[in-house]
Amino acid sequence: MAVLVVLIVVAGVVGFLAGQMSVPPGGVVTTTQTATQTVTQIVTSYVTTSPTPTTTPGFVGTVKIGALLPLNLPIGQMMLNAIQMAVDEINAEGGVLGYKVEVITYDTEWTGDKANAGYKYLAEQGVKVVVGVFGSHEALAIMDLLQLYEVPVIASGAVSDAIDSMVLQDYNAYKYWFRAYVNATSQAAATWDLLAYLSRRFGWTKLAWIYEDLPWVIPHALYGQNRSVQEGVSITYVQGVPTDIGSFTDIFAQAVASGAQYITWQFSGTEDYVFARDYSLGQVPLLAVGGGTFAMLDAFYNQTFGAAEGLICISWGFPIPITDKTMNFYNKYKSVYGTEPIFTTWYAYDSVHIWAEAVRKAGSFDVNAVINALETNVFVGTAGVYEFTRSHTSVLAPNRIYPIFFQWQGGKRIVVWPFRVVETGTKLLLPEIVNGTRVWRAIPWP
Partner 1 sequence: MVFAKRSAKDLIVSKIPFLTVLVVLTLLPFLNVGGFWLDVLTKVNLFLLVTLAIDLYSGTTYYLNLGVSFTFGFAGYSLALLNVYYGIPTEYSTLLAIPVSIFSSLVILLPSLKIRGVYFAILSLLVPIVFIGIVTAQPFSIYLGGEGGLRFKQLFLDFARGLPPGVRLTFLQYSYYYISLVAAVIGYVIAYKISFSEFGFMLRAVGQDEELAEGTGINTLKVKVVGFLISSAYASVAGALYASMRPPVTVDLVVPANTLIPPLTSVIVGGLGTLIGPAIANYLLLLTYEFLWGLIGRWRVIAYMLLLIIIITIKPQGIIFKAYVEAKKFLRGVFSE
Partner 2 sequence: MDVDIYKYILLFSIFHSSTYLTFSLGFSMLFGVAKIPNLAYGSLYILSSYVTYALTTHLGLEPLVAALIAILVVGLVSLLIGELLVKPGLKMPVSVFITTLSVAYIFEEFFRIEMGLRPITLPLYPGVTYVLGVPVSNHWFLILSASLLMFLLLTVFLKYTVLGRSIRAVAESWDESRRLGIDPLKVLRVAFLVAGVYAGATGVLLTPLKALTPTAGWGPLFTAFAIVALGGVGSVTGTLIASFIYGFFEQSMTYILGSGVASISPLILIILVLIFRPQGLMGRVE
Residues that bind partner 1 (CB under 8 A): 32-33, 35, 38, 42, 71, 105-107, 111-113, 116-117, 120-121, 124, 136-137, 139-141, 144, 148-149, 160, 162, 213-216, 218, 240
Q: Among partner 2, partner 1, none, what does residue 42 contact (CB within 5–8 Å per kind)?
A: partner 1
267 strand-pairing partners: 292
Sign of CA dihedral 409, 414, 415, 419: negative
Are the C-beta atoms of residues 118 and 107 closer than 8 Å to each other? yes
Nearer to partner 2, 51 or 436 (CB): 436
Q: Among partner 1, partner 2, none, what does residue 160 contact (CB within 5–8 Å per kind)?
A: partner 1
Work out whether 16 is an interface residue with partner 2 (CB under 8 A): no
Per-residue b/e over 120-156, b at no fewer than 16 CB within 10 Å?
bbbbeeebbbbbbbbbbbbbbbbbebbeebebbbbbb
Residue 273 CA to residue 84 CA, distance in Å, equals 31
Residue 248 three-state SS = coil
For residue 288, give every residue at least 6 positions away whose Cβ sits within 8 Å of its Cβ, in sequence order, or none: 262, 263, 264, 265, 279, 310, 311, 312
Residue 20 CB, shortest distance to partner 2, in Å, is 9
Nearer to partner 1, 69 or 354 (CB): 69
Nearer to partner 1, 39 or 299 (CB): 39
Residue 23 CB, shortest distance to partner 2, in Å, is 8
Residue 83 CB, shortest distance to partner 2, in Å, is 17
Site for partner 2 in 57-96 (CB under 8 A): 72, 74-75, 78
Q: Under rule CB under 8 A, how many of the chain's residues touch partner 2?
A: 50
Are the C-beta atoms of residues 303 and 293 closer than 8 Å to each other? no
Strand-strand pairing, 404-409 and 412-417: antiparallel
Binding site for partner 2 (CB under 8 A): 4, 7-8, 10-11, 14-15, 18-19, 21-24, 29-30, 32, 72, 74-75, 78, 213, 240-242, 244-247, 249-250, 253-254, 257-258, 270, 272-274, 277, 281-283, 294, 297, 299, 303-305, 339, 342
